[in-house]
């Protein structure tokens, strides 16, 4: 019988990609999602339990029914700027939600907990690429809420008897290469979906900040393909961690692109000239976040990014836009 994996946020952008990969590799992914931003049609690789991570009764029932050994925790709020306006909401869902889930995982004997953390825990790092030893000093509530989740797991792993893998994703982007799943365009705040919508709809695109201390004045990010992110989870499951131990990895390509470079990529792929508006910096944004210490994850999990070119990432997002339209 195939092994059951419990996936919070399995109806979302990264969670659904992971469920697809798990199913293709013989696992049974059970999605636990409150469907606040997930899409029902993305839950096609295993059962769906509709529930909130803060709903202890529902979580209990779901963990009792499916008895997973492994939990992948994607369910979260993920927008940096929104977190500066809605900090209580972010601490509630991302920090309290993670703690509530950890408590239930302990009660139900979960053996391996894989946590979606973020490069935002590094704040405005003084070095680039960012090493795992770089101090974690977030500059927005989103980063703090995820760092709290990390801290809970560090402190609770022994007590909960779980092995823990923490992935600090850099900028997850692109879409399913088969164009069955993908990023949300409507109401999107992230760079690539916004650029693609602007190209397709002929609407202006705003660059938030052209006066950063970077080569062209715009922010630099490490864009990591969503399928590569999913693959990191599969690699972690194939190389489990002992109970009570916590391992942390940066998940990125190790190469940065500026907002202007991503813009040029979208213009190339869509063969469109985008109308630009130059705006002030956005609240909570770091100037540069590029993943370092990639060797750690290569050596320990045998994982590396397959999609290292921004044009491939943009192409898959564009193909999904065309398919989903």
Would you name the residues annotated as active-site residues?
Answer: 142
Instruction: Identify the residue among 128, 165, 171, 250 touching ligand UFG (CB under 6 A).
Output: 171
| 191, 200, 314 from 261: Cα distances, Å | 11, 18, 11
235 contributes a contact to ligand UFG by CB under 6 A: no
Phi first, then psi, for residue 277 (nearest 5°) are: -125, 130
115 contributes a contact to ligand UFG by CB under 6 A: no
Q: Least distance from C-beta 81 to ligand UFG, angstroms? A: 7
Instruction: Identify the residue among 115, 185, 208, 249 touching ligand UFG (CB under 6 A).
Output: 208
Q: Which of 91, 78, 68 is nearest to 19 (CA)?
A: 68
- Distance separating alpha carbons of residues 23 and 237, to the nearest angstrom: 13
Binding segment toward ligand UFG, per CB under 6 A, in 10-18, 60-68, 114-122, 155-163: 114-122
- Distance separating alpha carbons of residues 312 and 177, to the nearest angstrom: 9
Q: Which residue is nearest to ligand UFG (CB)?
A: 219
Instruction: Show contacts with ligand UFG in window 74-93 (CB under 6 A).
Output: 78-80
Q: Least distance from C-beta 73 to ligand UFG, angstroms? A: 14
Instruction: Identify the residue among 90, 91, 144, 170 touching ligand UFG (CB under 6 A).
Output: 170
285 contributes a contact to ligand UFG by CB under 6 A: yes
Residues in CB range of 105: below 8 A, 6 or more apart = 63, 71, 113, 160, 162
206 contributes a contact to ligand UFG by CB under 6 A: yes
Name which of 151 and 282 has its Cβ closer to ligand UFG. Answer: 282
Q: Tell me if 14 sits within 8 A of 233, measured CB to CB.
A: no
Binding segment toward ligand UFG, per CB under 6 A, in 124-132, 203-211, 224-232, 239-247: 203-211
106 contributes a contact to ligand UFG by CB under 6 A: no
Binding segment toward ligand UFG, per CB under 6 A, in 6-14, 156-164, 184-192, 312-320: 184-192
219 contributes a contact to ligand UFG by CB under 6 A: yes
- Distance separating alpha carbons of residues 157 and 111, to the nearest angstrom: 10
69 contributes a contact to ligand UFG by CB under 6 A: no
Which helix (H) or strand (E) element contains residue 206? strand 205-208
Residues in CB range of 12: below 8 A, 6 or more apart = 33, 37, 38, 42, 74, 75
- Distance separating alpha carbons of residues 149 and 143, to the nearest angstrom: 10
Q: Tell me if 303 sits within 8 A of 233, measured CB to CB.
A: no
289 contributes a contact to ligand UFG by CB under 6 A: yes
Instruction: Identify the residue among 164, 191, 199, 314 touching ligand UFG (CB under 6 A).
Output: 191
- Distance separating alpha carbons of residues 158 and 145, to the nearest angstrom: 22
120 contributes a contact to ligand UFG by CB under 6 A: yes
Instruction: Identify the residue among 101, 259, 269, 290 touching ligand UFG (CB under 6 A).
Output: 259
Q: Least distance from C-beta 51 to ligand UFG, angstroms? A: 23
Phi first, then psi, for residue 78 (nearest 5°) are: -130, 10
* Footprint of ligand UFG (CB under 6 A): 78-80, 118-120, 170-171, 189-191, 194, 206-208, 219, 221, 259, 282, 285, 289
């Amino acid at each position: 019988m195939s092994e059951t994996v419990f996936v919070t946020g399995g109806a979302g952008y990264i969670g659904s990609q992971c469920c697809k990969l798990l199913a293709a590799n013989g696992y049974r992914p059970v999605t636990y999602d409150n469907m606040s931003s997930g899409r029902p049609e993305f839950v096609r690789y295993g059962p769906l339990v509709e529930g909130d991570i803060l709903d202890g009764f529902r979580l209990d029932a779901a963990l009792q029914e499916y008895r997973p050994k492994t939990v992948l925790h994607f369910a979260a709020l993920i927008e940096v700027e929104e977190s500066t306006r809605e900090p209580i909401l972010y601490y509630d869902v991302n920090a309290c939600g993670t703690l509530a889930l950890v408590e239930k995982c302990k009660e139900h004997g979960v053996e391996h907990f894989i946590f979606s953390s973020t490069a935002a825990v590094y704040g405005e790092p003084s070095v680039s690429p960012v090493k795992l030893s770089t101090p974690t000093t977030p500059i927005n509530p989103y980063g703090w809420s995820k760092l709290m989740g990390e801290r809970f797991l560090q402190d609770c792993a022994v007590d909960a008897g779980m092995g823990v893998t923490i992935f600090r994703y850099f900028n997850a982007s692109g879409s399913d290469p088969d164009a069955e799943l993908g990023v949300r365009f409507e109401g999107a705040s992230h760079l690539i979906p916004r650029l693609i919508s602007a190209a397709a709809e002929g609407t202006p695109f705003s660059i938030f900040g052209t006066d950063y201390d970077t080569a062209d004045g715009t922010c630099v990010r490490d864009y990591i393909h969503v399928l590569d992110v999913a693959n990191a989870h599969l690699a972690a499951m194939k190389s489990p961690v002992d109970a009570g131990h916590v391992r942390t990895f940066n998940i990125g390509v190790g190469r940065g692109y500026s907002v202007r470079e991503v813009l040029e990529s979208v213009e190339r792929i869509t063969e469109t000239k985008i109308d630009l508006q130059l705006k002030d910096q956005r609240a909570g944004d770091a100037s540069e976040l590029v993943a370092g210490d990639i060797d750690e994850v290569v050596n320990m999990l045998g994982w590396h990014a397959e999609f290292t070119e921004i044009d491939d990432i943009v192409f898959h997002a564009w193909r999904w836009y065309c398919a989903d339209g």
